[in-house]
């Protein structure tokens, strides 16, 4: 869930909202409210003052600090974790500098392109912090985490943060931080999750010319190191309209050997034709063979089917649920492209419900029916009558 948590946090930050970030239990073991500096508002600053109660600081990159001539507050830093405070500042357009409006103004101008050193009074009521250039991969602090998160939103390398205290003035620790985030409906993430997210390899993408047209093929690896694929056409990142999508579970016998026991290969190829015709869309090819029971057990299920069982009952006899598939990683893949709403090519209502539960909006279902043949007629009948697939057979 680490990837999904970070992606949700990024989306909150892009909208100018706040998130809760907790550092490691063996470090400061505290949590901060975090926002992106050039999306700051007086309301969010006031929320920090009211509910977090800590010190509002502005993590900035070394480049911004150098440009604004913000050197470290102390020549000899004896802070336990080397937090790089600069001299405090107020922007020249503020009055006393302490109101939520004044502090938001100062934060905004610290992040604004074109700001210059002379615009800021020293000392003031906002405390910039200089982050390490390697981010959390170099130093696992809130300063670096906030800057890394700001960068992931494609905003400037500046954030604003505030430690979260309990109502009695003590530091909020992990259990209280989780409760705080839930109470205020804010994403809760950890520095560890951010490190994992940033350490993940960039998806590997190649061009794939096929008999149905030219596509891009992208590889994604899940947390169990299983490799999944996205076959896409056209620009699919952060689409302005619902994206045409097929979520297809691997079927070696149907997809590769053209098995007549099922309609999987024909559905895959028809989806490729549909996306090629539209000129834009994606097929998520999930490695969950045999409705999630694996190839060996799928062949065992075939043996039972040869004795008269259908695919539904065969899985039950083998000790599995009729359908073991899970679509959470499909939703996470769509999230990496910024896809929130899709036109889903499917006959499977369970797939629709799972994707909805994982945050994907289904604009419409696009039917994909293959003409039955003698060998797969009973298979399609079981799909309709026992798996409740939306088929006309």
> Within 130-232, where are the H helices?
142-152, 174-183, 191-199
346 labeled binding residue: yes
Residue 27 annotated as binding? yes
Residue 44 vs residues 15, 104, 110, 155, 323: alpha-carbon distances, Å? 12, 8, 16, 17, 45
Query: 57 labelled as ligand-binding?
Result: no
User: Which helix (H) or strand (E) element contains residue 311?
Assistant: helix 311-317
The β-bridge partners of 162 are 33, 56
The answer to the question of whether 3 is labelled as a binding residue is no
> How far, CA to CA in Å, does 87 sit from each of 36, 337, 386?
21, 40, 69
DSSP 225-292: --EEEEEEES--SS-SSPEEEEEEE--IIIIIT--SS-SHHHHHHHHHHHHHHHT-EEEEEE--HHHH
The reply, when asked if residue 289 is annotated as ligand binding, is: yes
Instruction: Find out whether 264 is annotated in a ligand binding site.
Output: yes
Q: 341 pairs with which residues across the strands?
A: 361
- Whether residue 168 is annotated as binding a ligand: the answer is no
| Long-range pairs for 82-86: beta carbons < 8 A, 24 or more residues apart | 82/139, 83/129, 83/141, 83/143, 84/129, 84/130, 84/131, 84/143, 85/57, 85/127, 85/128, 85/129, 86/127, 86/128, 86/129, 86/130
Q: Is 281 annotated as a binding residue?
A: no
**Contact in structure between 207 and 214 (CB atoms under 8 Å):** yes
| Cα 346–chain centre separation | 24
Question: Residue 291, annotated ligand binder?
Answer: yes
In contact, 216 and 235? CB cutoff 8 Å: no
Q: Is 24 annotated as a binding residue?
A: no
Q: Is 249 annotated to bind ligand?
A: yes
Pick the closest to residue 360 from 333, 386, 385, 321 (CA basis). Answer: 333
96 annotated ligand binder: no
Catalytic residue set: 323, 325
Establish whether 296 is an annotated binding residue: no
Ligand-binding annotation for 32, yes or no, is: yes
Residue with tokens 């002379």: 118
Q: 248 labelled as ligand-binding? A: yes
Beta bridge partners of 283: 231, 246
Residues 6+ apart with CB under 8 A from 314: 300, 301, 302, 304, 305
Provide the β-strand partners of residue 37: none
Pick out the residues of the known binding site: 27-28, 32, 139-143, 246-251, 262, 264, 267, 289-291, 311, 346, 351
Binding-site residue numbers for Mg(2+) are 28, 142
| Residues of the binding site for Zn(2+) | 251, 262, 264
Residues annotated within a binding site for GTP: 246-250, 267, 289-291, 311, 346, 351
| Binding site residue list for D-ribulose 5-phosphate | 27-28, 32, 139-143
């Amino acid at each position: 869930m680490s990837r999904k948590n970070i992606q949700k946090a990024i989306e909150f930050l892009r909208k100018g909202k706040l998130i809760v970030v907790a550092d490691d239990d063996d470090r400061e073991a505290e949590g901060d409210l975090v926002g992106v500096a050039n999306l700051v508002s007086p309301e969010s600053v006031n929320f920090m003052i009211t509910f977090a109660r800590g010190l509002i600081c502005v993590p900035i990159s070394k480049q911004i600090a150098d440009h604004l001539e913000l050197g470290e507050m102390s020549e000899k830093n004896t802070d336990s974790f080397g937090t790089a405070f600069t001299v405090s500042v107020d922007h020249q357009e503020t009055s006393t500098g302490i109101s939520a409006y004044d502090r938001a103004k100062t934060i905004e101008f610290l992040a604004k392109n074109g700001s210059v050193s002379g615009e800021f009074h020293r000392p003031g009521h906002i405390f910039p912090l200089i982050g390490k250039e390697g981010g959390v991969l170099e130093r696992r602090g809130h300063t670096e985490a906030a800057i890394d998160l700001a960068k992931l939103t494609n905003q400037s390398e500046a954030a604003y943060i505030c430690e979260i205290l309990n109502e009695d003035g003590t530091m909020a620790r992990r259990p209280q931080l989780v409760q705080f985030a839930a109470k205020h409906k804010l994403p809760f993430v950890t520095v560890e999750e951010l490190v994992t997210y940033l350490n993940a390899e960039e998806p590997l993408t190649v061009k794939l010319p096929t008999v149905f047209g030219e596509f891009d093929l992208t590889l994604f690896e899940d947390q169990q190191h299983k490799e999944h694929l996205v076959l896409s056409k056209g620009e699919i990142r952060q689409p302005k309209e619902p994206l045409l999508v097929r979520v297809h579970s691997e079927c070696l016998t149907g997809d590769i050997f053209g098995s007549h026991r099922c309609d999987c290969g024909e559905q895959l190829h028809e989806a490729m034709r549909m996306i090629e015709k539209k000129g834009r869309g994606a097929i998520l090819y999930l490695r969950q063979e045999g409705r999630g029971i694996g190839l060996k057990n799928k062949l065992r299920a075939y043996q039972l089917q040869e004795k008269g069982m259908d695919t539904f009952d065969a899985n039950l006899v083998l000790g599995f649920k009729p359908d073991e598939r899970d679509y959470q990683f499909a939703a996470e893949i769509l999230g990496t492209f910024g896809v929130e709403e899709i036109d889903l090519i499917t006959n499977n209502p369970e797939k629709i419900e799972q994707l909805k539960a994982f945050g994907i909006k289904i604009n419409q279902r696009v039917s994909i029916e293959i003409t039955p043949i003698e060998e797969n007629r009973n298979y399609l009948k079981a799909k309709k009558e026992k798996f409740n697939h939306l088929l006309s057979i």
